[in-house]
């Protein structure tokens, strides 16, 4: 079968690989796959993998076959939970299987979903109703991780939050915070992404150099109760710490893999901040995302800017870095 593989840092190939073997698992024909920041870092070599590795972990597909009694039926449209867990380690026993010490993320520790077929255990597939479009379906996995991340923070209607970075996850964070009754300020250099965030419910938007003034005016000088860092750089994390109000919370959603710019540690101490750095998601988070998508309360389709074919993977990864892009999907 065809698959997109990374063969070395910054080296991508369309390869013929063996179809996944059976063994009490569900065979899924991949239909729509999405590129996320983790895939970009895997391709660059910033996240190490064993080469060659079939890439990707975001997928909507159709069940081809399933074990009897699994509760999964052939023809069912599904989302795949991309992370395995052992069920035996201390973290699994504490109800945190997404942090399992023996976990494997598809596209990282094990082969991923940028392929024609994939096999997973029945408990890792979740049904997706036909009312959710293919484009919206391509955003469901990252939506689940955003839902999981927001469960970590205590914000209430009437409070103020800033979201730094209005890419895919930033746009979703704006909408989820709006659903919680929070006043949201979206921050990015991109004018068209600020306009999209306003459409998605941001009360105000600002370029990074204007963010402090906008937030101080909106909060009568207190600063926001929460700042979501959705870029993944040391510079934007430092800005989050500087912007948040005393006693506030910083939610680090962007994946940092290093830096040497330094952080404002004194501000972190002086403001008695709480910093959260959530990772991955639980099955219930994905289920909540599917329910939200089906309800029509979120706008997911406008977040998808490009859909290419699987054989155009190299071009798809180039588009991820294009200023005109948000979510880039591939049809399998």
Residue tagged 């074919």 (tokens): 309
Backbone angles phi, psi at 91, to 5 degrees: -70, -40
Q: What CATH number was assigned to the domain covering residues 2-144+280-331?
A: 3.90.180.10
Its pTM stands at 0.94
Query: What are all long-range contacts of 21-24, with beta carbons under 8 Å and residues at least 24 apart?
Result: 21/119, 22/119, 23/119, 24/67, 24/121
Q: Where in the chain is the domain with CATH 3.40.50.720?
A: 152-276
Give the residues across from 308 on adjacent strands: 330
pLDDT tens, N- to C-terminus, the chain (332 residues): 999 999 999 999 999 999 988 778 999 999 999 999 899 999 999 999 999 999 999 999 999 999 999 999 999 999 999 999 999 999 999 999 989 999 899 999 999 999 999 999 999 999 999 999 999 999 999 999 999 999 999 899 999 999 999 999 999 999 999 999 999 999 999 999 999 999 999 999 999 999 999 999 999 999 999 999 999 889 999 999 999 999 999 999 987 766 666 788 888 778 888 889 998 899 999 999 999 999 999 999 999 999 999 999 999 999 999 999 999 999 99
For residue 19, CA distances in Å to 116, 163, 291 come to: 8, 42, 32
- Alpha-helical runs (H) found in the chain: 37-44, 90-93, 134-137, 140-150, 168-179, 191-199, 211-218, 234-243, 265-270, 283-295, 313-320
Q: Where in the chain is the domain with CATH 3.90.180.10?
A: 2-144+280-331
Helix, strand or coil, per DSSP, at residue 17: coil
What fold characterizes domain 152-276? Rossmann fold (3.40.50)
| CA dist., res. 142 & res. 245, Å (int) | 28
**What is the H or E stretch that residue 255 is in?**
none
Q: How far apart are the first and last CA of the chain?
A: 11
CB 271 within 8 A of CB 244: yes
| CA dist., res. 291 & res. 52, Å (int) | 36
């Amino acid at each position: 079968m065809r698959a997109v593989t990374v063969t070395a840092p910054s080296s991508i190939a369309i390869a013929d690989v063996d179809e996944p073997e059976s063994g009490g698992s569900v065979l899924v024909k991949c239909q729509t796959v999405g590129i996320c920041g983790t895939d970009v870092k895997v391709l660059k070599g910033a996240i190490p993998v064993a080469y060659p590795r079939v890439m990707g972990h975001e997928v909507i597909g159709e069940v081809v076959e399933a074990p009897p009694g699994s509760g999964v039926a052939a023809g069912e449209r599904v989302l795949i939970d991309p992370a395995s867990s052992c069920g035996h380690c201390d973290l699994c026993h504490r109800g945190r299987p997404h942090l399992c010490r023996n976990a494997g993320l598809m596209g990282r520790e094990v082969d991923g979903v940028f392929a024609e077929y994939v096999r997973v255990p029945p408990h890792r597939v979740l049904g997706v109703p036909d009312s959710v479009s293919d484009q919206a379906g391509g955003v469901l996995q990252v939506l689940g991780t955003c839902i999981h991340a927001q469960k970590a923070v205590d914000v209430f209607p009437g409070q103020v939050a800033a979201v730094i970075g209005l890419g895919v996850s930033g746009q979703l964070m704006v909408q989820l915070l709006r659903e919680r009754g929070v006043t949201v300020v979206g921050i990015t250099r991109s004018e068209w992404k600020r306009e999209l965030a306003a459409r998605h419910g941001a009360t105000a938007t600002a370029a990074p150099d204007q963010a402090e003034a906008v937030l101080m005016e909106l909060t009568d000088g207190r600063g926001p109760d929460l700042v979501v860092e959705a870029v993944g750089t040391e510079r934007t994390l430092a800005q989050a710490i500087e912007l948040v109000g005393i006693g506030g919370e910083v939610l680090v959603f962007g994946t940092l893999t290093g830096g040497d710019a330094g952080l404002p540690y004194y501000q972190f101490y002086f403001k008695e901040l709480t910093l959260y750095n959530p990772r991955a998601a639980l099955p219930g988070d994905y289920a909540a995302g599917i329910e939200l998508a089906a309800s029509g309360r979120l706008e997911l389709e406008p977040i998808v800017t490009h859909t290419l074919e699987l054989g155009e993977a190299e071009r798809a990864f180039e588009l991820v870095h294009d200023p005109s892009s948000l979510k880039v999907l591939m049809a399998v």
